[in-house]
Structure 1
Amino acid sequence: MTSPSFADLGVSDRLVRALTAAGIASPFPIQADTLPDTLKGRDVLGRGKTGSGKTLAFSIPMVSRLGETFSGVRKPNRPRGLILAPTRELATQIAAALEPLTMASNLRVTTIFGGVSQARQVTALNRGVDIVVACPGRLEDLMKQRLVTLDDIEITVLDEADHMADLGFLPGVTRIMKATPSHGQRMLFSATLDNGVDKLVKQFLTDPVQHSVDEENSPVAAMTHHIFEVGGVDGKKALVQRLASGEGRRILFMRTKHQARKLARQLTEAGIPSVDLHGNLSQAARDRNLAAFSNGDARVLVATDVAARGVHVDNVELVVHVDPPAEHKAYLHRSGRTARAGSAGDVVTVVLPEQRRDLSVLMRKAKIDAAPQRVTVDSPAVQDLVGDVAAYVKPAPKEAAPAPKQQQPGRGRSTRGGHAGNSNAGSGRRRRPTTARSESAGYRG
């Protein structure tokens, strides 16, 4: 049986052309299942594994329906479509997926999230936007400042609701949902319905149509799982570097921010261009590192769990759990960065002998059947995954620290009697610089 086309499912010619121009020729199963209902305005509960195509499943009907009701006049600070996402990375990528569709429909989209100045976001809202893609924390901040109102929202989407629950966002999500009109269309997409997600469904979705493309927490069929056991820390370090040395894109997951930063630096110094992604980075640094990974300037992304959900980069050949995650859901979400959109991919978990028992429990919960293999860097199983080793790339020279500025006479710190502009003058102690606390440190939206 031939799968339906976007046109067969009721998508307008204008949006079909925009999708085709973006290289999207035919719908994935979750899109084919949900579009007939969402295009009619039905509330939908969509459940599917990571990488199954959920973003377009809600983006197409939102743009289609808002385009049909667009009067040509936008009210400042009163968007008509709202998409809530758990992380800034995911919000940014949803907005990027929306852009070809909104451009074809003369609609405007903007993102709202923390970790950056709110000035640009407020300016966009004042100009008038049709769709806001937001993280809950910053959106609530702007609502409290009365810089945005949700009274005109016609369509609301909750994406990766289970991850929002994991991060503790559900109270804020509930308050935001209560601020939207109850008669609007609502779509909720989630891999699981635990941790309070089921309560959101009951409270805010009206007679929802449920579509489950895959069993809850099911691993991706095109994904091959490997467990590589090494004898000690030195063997682990050598194995990880070898796994990182291939030509294709790969993501390496670490437990801590410090370890991620350190490994990215070590790999780069070894001639394997790498970038890190974790909660201590500013938004500008996150964007810069993700761009380097996406455009090929860096072949390896070393990340903490901040990247396990919401980082969607095509053609990631290999995911390596350098540090096994703490629980099975994190394993599945990390692993889901490969084998996306019908592509194949491999997942390696590196394990020390003392970690085998805990990993066995985790893999059983994740429904992954993979036998541990004792390996070294020269083992055939390792060589098969590495493939051709990429050419050595000489690291860029480190920028020299700027020379200290010469103090002008009469403008330095006074060591006697004090200085009118310095309350610490004469104390003999150097004042500690203050640092701004980034929302990224706490995953706050």
Structure 2
Amino acid sequence: MRGRISWLKNPRSRGAYYGFFLPAAFLLCLALFIGTIFVGKDQTEKSLRWGIDVIRGSGYSKITSEKLQPQPSPPLQPEPPPQPAPAIRPHLQSQPHLPPDPSPELQPQLADQQYLAQNECRPPGSEPLPKGLVSNSSDLQMQPLWGRRKKVNSTTSLFTAAVGIKQKEMVDKMVRKFLSSNFSVMLFHYDGIVDAWKDLEWNNHVVHVSAVNQTKWWFAKRFLHPDIVTEYSYIFLWDEDLGVDDFDPERYLKIVKDEGLEISQPALDKTKSQVHHTITARWTNSTFHRRINSSNSKHGCDSTTEYPPCTGWIELMAPVFSRAAWRCIWYMIQSDLNHAWGLDILFGYCAQGDRTKNVGVVDAEYIVHYGMPTFGETPNEEEHNPSEPNARLEVRRHSHHEYKIFKRRWQDAAKEDESWIDPYPDSWNYSII
């Protein structure tokens, strides 16, 4: 005790005491007070023990050395693991962020928006059904009442024709040939006679549709909707007066596929057929052609002409359409225009690209067009009553009238649709009648 008092009596020691120890003690107490807030309990206790040692009079050298030596930082406490975010129920994730309590005026509008979002890709009318049950296509494959179901494969095509009993023999040859090539067959009976075909062995293997005095285009618009025939790669829509002795459906389709013809027809045998347009006549030693190769055409065609019927054109008698082309053609057929005159001028619009490349006539597989009148034929010209109208002449006159109506509709629609750009603006400049 006496040593400590004598130490304070020393002026130099007293200066050290008041100049160093008292301020250090004050700062230490302040640090300890603040430290209790930010540091853990264990570190606070260490700091207290260290402060007590200093106040009790540890040597100046000890304090100086401890002051100069950096204190080890406290061990880092491991961060607590992140808490998982609260689970969001699936139905809440897909719902749009809507006001929590929409006003009564907004509720119908919001309901309509939700309904449209949920049913945007559904066929109209299928909304009440589960999506997996919706069947939006069909085919014309006849099915047995029991046993294994027949399926239409991806290579199956459809043959259709408007037929009358007077051409039964020619139709029989056509149907046999197409059935043997694994085609589905649908016959349109324009004379209303169906039972007279029952003696043919294939009668129960084809679909028969009967409507008196209706053309194949009338039947096609009503019974060949694209969703009904979407399973078929190609659709044949032929007349009944065609000879097929030199025609093979399978070889024909191979050429069409290899050459990328979306719209086509078999060439006509020039020696046996009625040829109305030069482009449909068969070229010898040729597989197919896309344009007229002669300057003797009545339409002034040559090798540079780019409009129908010089190129990009086939006739109405025996057209063959790809699946994609037929979907376009079907929409172009007018329900109230039976004869479809003028439709062939515009076939090229549905050719899925350049009509001068995707429309063609196949020479290797050709047919004969006998040119037999279908409608308005007088059974016996000698017994015809002059006071009665000439049915055949009236049919042709009405066909011309429908042609003018169709042309006017097209031109009016093209003017009204400002967003549509006509790729072939000169199509109607050249009449094919």
Give the TM-score normalised by the residue count of structure 2. Answer: 0.26
Higher Rg of the two aligned structures = 2
TM-score, reference length from structure 1: 0.25
